[in-house]
Structure 1
Amino acid sequence: MKITDSVLRSFRVARTYRDHSVKFNCVDYSENGESAVASSDDDSIVLYDIREGKPQQTIYSKKYGVDLIRYTHGDAHTVVYSSNKLDDTIRWLSLTDNKFIRYFPGHTARVVALSMSPVDDHFISGSLDKTIRIWDLRSQNCQGVTNPMGKPVCSFDPEGVIFAAGVESQAINLYDLRAFDKGPFASFETRFTRVSEWTGLKFSKDGKQILISTNGGAIHILNAFNGTVLHTFSGYNNSKGISLEACFTPDSQFVMIGSEDGRVHVWSTLSGMKVAVLDGKHSGPINTLQFNPRYMTFASACSNMTFWLPCVDDL
């Protein structure tokens, strides 16, 4: 099934799990789309079986806390995640036996961005210590550090060769992973009419666009090659300055974001028009939102975890 305006408008809640009293802070799909992992402010890690449509396993990280959880490349059985309690070390965890494989120490303040390479064992992390660190799963030692001179959000491009860093909610720097020590090879200054803090940065799957999430009432789509602002999307509720996660659909044709009132807003990246507003009856703001990379489903979460499917009868 191709993702179209009408298909997106047909999405309905398929399953909702209400096992948490505090918010989920992150959700990620495995590369094959068959499982999802979510982290919560109650220090839990929940693994979901997407084909069965139900929780499969719950692991707790009570000592360290858990935030910004990501599947490792090509492996649905291990994850890396940042800590939010004891220290700022990143941890690599086996979901199979609930054992840590490796620790990645180095950051001296909370990690606010974490991106896995889509092609190999590298990953990058951005921290409130105003550094971006480059890692390889095979070594606990940091492979390199960049100093973007501000609070960074960062992400790999779809080919895993370039990574982008948003700095102080004002500029985007592009780095070549093979020559990051030489500094950015390109830098784009942005001029947005709405002033708000950047909270996330993502490349579209085709590598042509960059999505900037904010803690305000607008998200932005930029040309990934020259930094030109293509679209600014607004009209969703975020009056309290919450960090609401936005995402692309896998075909790069649409952008989605959850809102403060528990609804999901969808825009076309081609026309710039809003194509759908979906009511998931969330009990609070949708903090995290991800579209499955392989299957026609997406997940949205507040303190509830909700999975969506298109309704064939509406098409």
Structure 2
Amino acid sequence: MADKANDHQTRELDGPPFDTISSLRFSPSNSSGLLAASWDTTLYYYDTRSNERRSKFDHRAAVLDCCFSVDGKHAFSGGLDTSVRDFDLETEQVRHLGQHSSAVSRTSFASSLNALISGSWDRTLRFWDPRSSNAQIASYSLPERVYNMDISGNTLVVGMASRLFHIYDVRKMEGGPVQERESSLKFLTRAVACMPDGQGFATGSVEGRIAVEYFDTSAEVQEKKYAFKCHRQTVDGEDHVWPVNCIAFHPTYNTFASAGSDGTVSIWDHKSKKRLRQYPKFNQAISAIAWSHDGRQLAIGESYNWDEGRDGASKAPPPRLLVRDVGDEVKPKGVA
């Protein structure tokens, strides 16, 4: 059961990770299939409707990210052990696709190419064909370490160290990035998510700000981009600012959820520049979120995110994996 700080629409999954939850992904074909990657060196697979942990797969070090194949039958993951792995969720067979020379920080699946993309601290993007015995298709050098990555259609957004962003058309990688940008936020980027409608993306940073950006470089469209403060609170006259740890766009309504180290999750309509809802505060930082493909569930990873260092870790409660059934609060105003 979820604690009384959360309402009846939020339920807790059994068998959560026992260290920080680094990434959550719902299946593109099954609204109850959920992957959870963790610093406990394990990738977990859950059925959220039956509240059952179906499988778990071990790495040799912390797992930093995960994603599904387009048919939802395979899971892919990478982490500090530098390995890129393919897990057959039906047979539970594990396949080592290949290796980076440093940590694999992000994974995304390009449906149009039927290819896995991995980004690493070794300053490369690598493309993999899981169907091939020689899985690595290509490798592309970058100017900095990959910290964040997301894809919408054929548009890949890569967030790097030094506040750099590259935007690619995955069908034309040999030509280099379509655009190179510097973050409009002043501090380290901790989250990036692409709009499902393909118009742009949002980024979140450690100083409690979110920026909304657009791909179209025309002056008219670029005038629409903006940034705003969030995940902040005034306590006893003192301003407290928490990192924005994750952002996820709703697959149907193009609104987005943000979650932070303040233990809150908010729903935003970026077009009207308004917050639609803030859910009841959780026990500790929210380190990962994900929408189900039908947009009816929001998975929430509640776990210590090391904002207070080792001292905070000794006092932190164990991680929890929660799923919230959502309603009309995720719709823009005026949408039936």
Q: If the TM-score is normalised by the length of the shorter chain, which range does it land in? A: 0.7 to 0.9
TM-score normalised by length of structure 2: 0.78
Selected match of 2:213 from 219, 222, 241: 222
2:52 counterpart of 1:55: yes
2:31 counterpart of 1:36: no
Residue 93 of structure 1 corresponds to which residue in structure 2? 87
Q: Distance in 1 between matches of 2:327 and 2:160?
A: 41
CA displacement at 1:185 relative to structure 2: 2.7
Structure 1 counterpart SS, 2:225: strand
Residue 145 of structure 1 corresponds to which residue in structure 2? 139
Query: Where does structure 2 lack aligned partners over 5 or more consecutive residues?
Result: 1-5, 234-239, 303-318, 329-336
Residue 259 of structure 1 corresponds to which residue in structure 2? 260
Q: Distance in 2 between matches of 1:109 and 1:121?
A: 25
Q: Which amino acid aligns with 2:56?
A: I
CA displacement at 1:102 relative to structure 2: 3.9
Relative contact order, higher structure (CA 8 A, sep 6+): 1
Q: Distance in 2 between matches of 1:15 and 1:289?
A: 14
Q: Deviations over 1:247-285 (max 9, x none)?
A: 11113532211222322122111111122110153x320
Moved more, 113-122 or 269-278: 113-122
Residue 298 of structure 1 corresponds to which residue in structure 2? 298
Selected match of 1:113 from 90, 106, 109: 106
Q: Distance in 1 between matches of 2:79 and 2:326?
A: 35
Structure 1 counterpart SS, 2:94: strand
CA RMSD of aligned residues (A): 2.8
Structure 2 counterpart SS, 1:178: helix
| 8 Å Cα contact 2:251-2:295 kept in structure 1 | no
Compared CA separation, residues 125 and 241, structure 1 to 2 (3 A) = farther
Query: Where does structure 1 lack aligned partners over 5 or more consecutive residues?
Result: 1-9
Selected match of 1:235 from 230, 255, 264: 230
Q: Distance in 2 between matches of 1:121 and 1:128?
A: 24
2:300 counterpart of 1:272: no
Q: Which amino acid aligns with 2:70?
A: H
2:305 counterpart of 1:309: no
Q: Which amino acid aligns with 1:146?
A: Y
Q: Distance in 2 between matches of 1:96 and 1:109?
A: 30
Compared CA separation, residues 261 and 163, structure 1 to 2 (3 A) = closer
| 8 Å Cα contact 2:66-2:77 kept in structure 1 | yes
Q: Which amino acid aligns with 2:38?
A: S
Moved more, 286-295 or 41-50: 41-50
Q: Deviations over 1:107-162 (max 9, x none)?
A: 11111221111334212221111122222222344322222211234545432x33
TM-score normalised by length of structure 1: 0.82
Residue 188 of structure 2 corresponds to which residue in structure 1? 197
CA displacement at 1:220 relative to structure 2: 1.4
2:194 counterpart of 1:178: no
Q: Deviations over 1:68-117 (max 9, x none)?
A: 01111112x32000032xx3010001223332134222x11111221111
Structure 2 counterpart SS, 1:279: coil
| 8 Å Cα contact 2:44-2:53 kept in structure 1 | yes
Q: Distance in 2 between matches of 1:116 and 1:247?
A: 16
- How many residue pairs get aligned? The number is 295
